[in-house]
């Protein structure tokens, strides 16, 4: 049985790096963040409808990588990310994404702490809302009773924290 693990949290918290490191460690595959690729190729400012398209693209890529995974599949983002993104940006979220959050569960969510320095990237929007965004993720995960753990530390300590969590998690 393949265990799906979502690496989630606010922007600039090391989700992509961690997901790739975990996949390498466990010799499996991972799902990169589709939003980055989509937005870099978009050629215009994104609109609300693009978030729905991104959510669907992320899910499609995840399902494809699931066929290639060994024991674990690490997902650099999850439907909760698109839900919070949409609600923060537009004060609403497409019903399809809301339904996806409810139905498409992960065996474990790794919530990346905001203890890494924020790094500029033209796709990032909220350098001064890190605590606010982190608290949104934390509250959503708790309120939905999703199985999650916070990953913290810098460099190798962050990876070690995630590895310890996965190795000790009662799947």
pLDDT tens, position by position, 54-79: 999 999 999 999 999 999 999 999 99
Assess whether pLDDT exceeds 90 at residue 165: yes
The pLDDT of residue 122: 82
Domains of the chain (ranges; CATH) run 3-168 (3.40.50.300)
pLDDT tens column, 101-146: 999 999 999 999 999 998 888 888 888 999 999 999 999 999 999 9
Q: Would you state the structure tokens that stand for residue 147, as one six-digit string?
A: 């199985």
What is the pTM (predicted TM-score) of this model? 0.96
Band of residue 47 on the pLDDT scale cut at 50, 70, 90: very high
State the pLDDT at residue 19. Answer: 98
Split at pLDDT 50, 70, 90, the class of 30 is very high
Query: DSSP states of the chain as a string?
Result: -PEEEEEE-STTSSHHHHHHHHHHHTT-EEE--HHHHHHHHH-S---HHHHHHHHHHHHHHHHHHHTT-BSEEEEES-HHHHHHHHHHHHS---HHHHHHHHH---SEEEEE-S-SPP---TT---TT-HHHHHHHHHHHHHHTT--EEEE--STHHHHHHHHHHHHHS--
């Amino acid at each position: 049985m393949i265990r799906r693990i979502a690496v989630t949290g606010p922007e600039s918290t090391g989700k992509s790096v961690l997901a790739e490191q975990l996949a390498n460690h466990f010799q499996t595959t991972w799902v990169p963040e589709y939003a980055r690729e989509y937005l870099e190729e978009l050629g215009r400012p994104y609109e609300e409808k693009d978030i729905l398209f991104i959510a669907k693209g992320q899910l499609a890529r995840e399902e494809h990588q699931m066929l290639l995974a060994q024991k674990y599949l690490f997902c650099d983002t999850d439907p909760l990310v698109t839900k919070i993104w949409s609600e923060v940006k537009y004060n609403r979220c497409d019903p399809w994404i809301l339904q996806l959050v409810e139905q498409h569960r992960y065996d474990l969510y790794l919530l990346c702490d905001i203890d890494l320095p924020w790094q500029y990237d033209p796709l990032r929007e909220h350098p001064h809302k890190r605590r606010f965004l982190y608290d949104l993720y934390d509250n959503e995960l708790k309120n939905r009773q999703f199985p999650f753990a916070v990953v913290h530390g810098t460099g190798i300590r962050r990876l070690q924290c995630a590895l310890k969590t996965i190795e000790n998690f009662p799947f």
